[in-house]
Amino acid sequence: MPDRKKIVVITGAGISAESGLSTFRDSGGLWEGYDIHEVASIEGWRKDPETVLNFYNLRRKQALKAKPNKAHKALAHLQNYYDVQIITQNVDNLHEKAGSDRVLHLHGELNKAKSSEVDDHVIEIGDRPIKIGDKAADGSQLRPHVVWFGEMVPNLEIAAEMTSKADILIVIGTSLVVYPAAGLIDYVKNGSDKFIIDPSEPEFRDLREWQHIKEKAGIGTPKLVENLITKVKETD
């Protein structure tokens, strides 16, 4: 059998919308009444850590009881036919729940917490809330393991490397307006097939080389996955 083709899938909040988790920009930058820039920024954390913790405790509770939808499941199935790497901006774990084996989180994970002093002191917390006074091993206040506005994206370099090797790039449910994650698509090599699945018109770039599947992720992803599997079966 020839080597499997490499597919990189970049996902954002839109892929989890049909699992009941709101996107950011569709809700006008407000999330359950919280201003996203207040609760997802390092300045917000310094100013009012309790509000930030409450916000993430709420998101953790909602996200961890959410179920993967048809889009997450279709991508997990795709790995039976292709070498699939998911790069997600989402902090939920719906790709993992659906069975995808290779998931890189760019913006962290809700079910983990870390020291507010040392970036790589990360622990699993599952669905437990983080409270003021909860301490990391180094004695500092525990904080969510998420990347906020104004912080470095530690997995960016590895994500860029993965994207540069893709034969097929699929972007699902992200406005691609938040950098540096948005810059990832520039790493794709010439000649790769490029698909974007989003019910809205993407504003982010010149899309002449992209095939836009203008549907919700739960409809568009299984369709694209089916086509890609048919293609691989024809060439086998």
* In the block, residue with structure tokens 């809330």: 129
Q: Does 21 contact ligand APR by CB under 6 A?
A: no
Buried b / exposed e over 67-91, threshold 16 CB at 10 Å, is ebbbbbbbbbbbbebbbbbbbbbbb
Among 7, 8, 9, 14, binds ligand APR (CB under 6 A): 14
Nearer to ligand APR, 5 or 108 (CB): 108
**Nearest to ligand APR of 5, 198 (CB atom):** 198
37 catalytic per annotation = no
Query: Nearest distance from residue 53's CB to ligand APR, in Å?
Result: 17
Q: How far apart are CA 32 and CA 97, in angstroms?
A: 24
Q: How far, in Å, CA of 32 to CA of 59, rounded?
A: 9
Nearer to ligand APR, 116 or 174 (CB): 174
According to CB under 6 A, which one of 85, 89, 100, 116 is a site residue for ligand APR? 89
Residue 32-71 contact track with ligand APR, rule CB under 6 A, x = bound: ----x---x-------------------------------
Q: Is 23 in the site for ligand APR (CB under 6 A)?
A: yes
> Following DSSP, what letter does each residue of 70-132 receive, concatenated?
HHHHHHHHHTTTSEEEEEE---S-HHHHHT-S-EEESSEEEEEEEESS-TT-EEE-TT----T
Q: Within 10 Å of residue 124's Cβ, how many Cβ atoms?
A: 10
Q: Does 173 bind ligand APR (CB under 6 A)?
A: yes
Closest CA to 139 of 113, 122, 120, 116: 116
- Residue ranges binding ligand APR (CB under 6 A): 12-14, 17-18, 23-26, 36, 40, 89, 107, 173-175, 178, 197-200, 216-217
Residues involved in catalysis: 107
